[in-house]
């Protein structure tokens, strides 16, 4: 049941993003090229943020003193 909920959430998120893009292009009149350039920058930024967070977590794990049980 958990996996089904995850898939539904991802599907709804993608549908919401598509609706926002369609609205920006059709209703507001933003050029498609400008939206695609911004999309590439957002993907790059999110990837950099995820990579930085992963590196920070790895470093904190390495620096944490090990407890003896």
- pLDDT truncated to tens, each residue of the chain (69 aa)? 567 778 888 899 888 888 888 888 888 888 989 988 988 998 899 999 999 999 999 999 888 777 766
Closest CA to 32 of 45, 23, 43, 42: 23
pLDDT of residue 35: 85
Identify the pLDDT of residue 10.
86
Q: How many structural domains are present in the chain?
A: 2
Reduced to 3 states (helix: H, G, I; strand: E, B; else coil), residue 65 is coil
Which residues constitute the domain of residue 21? 1-30
SS3 of 10, please? helix
CA–CA dist 30, 58 (Å, integer): 41
Residues 41 and 24 in one domain: no
Do 12 and 41 fall within a single domain? no
- Please tell me the distance from the alpha carbon of residue 5 to that of residue 14, in angstroms, as a whole number: 14
Q: Quick check: pTM over 0.85?
A: no
Output phi, psi for 43, to 5 deg: -60, -45
């Amino acid at each position: 049941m958990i996996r089904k909920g995850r898939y539904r959430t991802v599907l709804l998120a993608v549908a919401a993003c598509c609706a926002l893009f369609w609205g920006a292009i059709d209703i507001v009149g933003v050029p498609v090229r400008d939206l695609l350039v911004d999309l590439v920058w957002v993907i790059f930024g999110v990837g950099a943020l995820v990579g930085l967070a992963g590196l920070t977590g790895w470093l904190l794990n390495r620096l944490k003193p090990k407890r003896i049980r």
